[in-house]
Amino acid sequence: MRSVISITWRRPRLGPVLSALVLAGACGAGCESSKLETGYTPRPLNASDAERRAYYSGKYTKEAVKAEQERQVEFRARRPGV
């Protein structure tokens, strides 16, 4: 006996593909600013060495370190049971 396998070609549905493209376009249209909701601004990859050092230097000043230590002390004082 000979079995015949019938293979039919179906045209792909464009509905899901089209709706995905519309959704991606709508999401991309809202990305005008590179600043995130949390306030973080992404750093450019082609920044010079001096620019990269400037991104983080404010964190390590004496005043910033002292303020962070004060915040930690205050946080520990507010912890219950300690």
The helix/strand count (H/E) of the chain reads as 3, 0
Residue 27, pLDDT score: 61
Torsion of CA 64, 66, 72, 75, to 10 degrees: -90
Q: Is the pTM value of this prediction over 0.85? A: no
pLDDT tens, residue by residue, 7-24 = 776 766 667 777 777 777
Token reading at 43: 């750093």
Q: DSSP string spanning 29-46?
A: HT---S--TTS--PPPTT
Residue 33, pLDDT score: 67
Q: Assess contact for 32 and 39: CB atoms under 8 A.
A: no
